[in-house]
Amino acid sequence: MVSYGAGTNSTALLVEMVRRGEPVDAILFADTGGERPGTYAYAEMFSAWLVARGYPAIIKIKKGGIPETLEQNCLRNATLPSLAFGRKACSHKYKIEPQDKWANNWPPARAAWTAGQKVVKLIGYDIDEPHRAAIPESEKFVYRYPLLEWGWGRDECVRAIAAAGLPQPGKSSCFFCPSMTKGEILQLRKEHPDLLIRALNIESTAKEAGNLQTVNGLGRRLNWGEFIELVDEAEANDPTAFFLRQQDFPNPPQCGACYDGASDDDEQEAA
């Protein structure tokens, strides 16, 4: 089964699996409810592309339990995605666990486990980040990293997608992901101002509830609202000042937890 994140790596992984004629039994896209519209559209288009080539359609799965998106969960609890606090619970709860639960009810997986075999999970880590490709084998799953096997980095992935005649997927992550860079936040502001307002609402709701005592905001040390205010102010006065003052803001926490829909480890973690 393939963990599909609707980003460049996992799209290239599948494109090359198709080109090589390697079989794939299931393709799972764990939806936090917070992807950008273009990501959902891309996954739908790519699913049709796969089906037309005899491969399974992409299955969109969601977290079980209370039917709410990660955004709704943050607002209900007046908190931020856990990555802002240096943890990975958001990706575990909304991406890893739904995939594992889905597999628990997938007849081929059950048959494999009954026969003493393991399900192979394909994950799109590439040669630029080999340290991530070390998920420990579990009782049920063993992990395979085709891009590493092929010696592919980001450039090869982009070329493979283009060679297949497909458009490149855009940024794939929650629109309020703490790992977003300042450039990505500004891109969100430009392309999806409505989503930026929703992201800022998550941040301000947590702040008003007094739940930002250990971090400044969505970007951990970076408060997105303050950053946007500064940009607005600078743009109104002197655009150059904005570029000079970007250095005042620290880099975001590295996602690590979510990488094109997968996790850099499969360990379960408390919220």
The site for ligand SF4 (CB under 6 A) is made up of 32, 34, 70, 81, 83, 90-91, 94-95, 173-174, 177, 179, 255, 257-258
Distance from C-alpha of 28 to C-alpha of 43, rounded to nearest angstrom: 11
In the bound complex, what is the minimum distance in angstroms from residue 177's beta carbon to ligand SF4?
A: 3
In the bound complex, what is the minimum distance in angstroms from residue 159's beta carbon to ligand SF4?
A: 25
Pick between residue 16 and residue 31 the one whose CB is nearest to ligand SF4. Answer: 31
For CA atoms 158, 159, 164, 165, give the dihedral sign.
positive
Pick between residue 49 and residue 216 the one whose CB is nearest to ligand SF4. Answer: 216
Residue 152's alpha-carbon distances to 29, 143, 157, 222, 254, in angstroms, are 22, 17, 7, 33, 22
Distance from C-alpha of 232 to C-alpha of 226, rounded to nearest angstrom: 10
Pick between residue 47 and residue 263 the one whose CB is nearest to ligand SF4. Answer: 263
Both tokens of 53, joined, read: 């080539």
Q: What is the DSSP letter of 27?
A: E
Pick between residue 49 and residue 98 the one whose CB is nearest to ligand SF4. Answer: 98
Give yes or no for a contact between 171 and 186, defined as CB atoms under 8 angstroms apart.
no
Unique residue bearing structure tokens 């592309």: 49
Q: Angle at Cα 256 formed by Cα 252 and Cα 257, nearest 5°?
A: 110
Nearest alpha-carbon partner for 261 in 147, 146, 91: 91
In the bound complex, what is the minimum distance in angstroms from residue 74's beta carbon to ligand SF4?
A: 9
Pick between residue 95 and residue 121 the one whose CB is nearest to ligand SF4. Answer: 95
In the bound complex, what is the minimum distance in angstroms from residue 233's beta carbon to ligand SF4?
A: 27
Pick between residue 9 and residue 91 the one whose CB is nearest to ligand SF4. Answer: 91
Distance from C-alpha of 50 to C-alpha of 28, rounded to nearest angstrom: 13
What is the DSSP code string of 66-83?
A: S---HHHHHHHHT---GG
In the bound complex, what is the minimum distance in angstroms from residue 162's beta carbon to ligand SF4?
A: 25
Pick between residue 161 and residue 177 the one whose CB is nearest to ligand SF4. Answer: 177
In the bound complex, what is the minimum distance in angstroms from residue 181's beta carbon to ligand SF4?
A: 13
In the bound complex, what is the minimum distance in angstroms from residue 7's beta carbon to ligand SF4?
A: 10
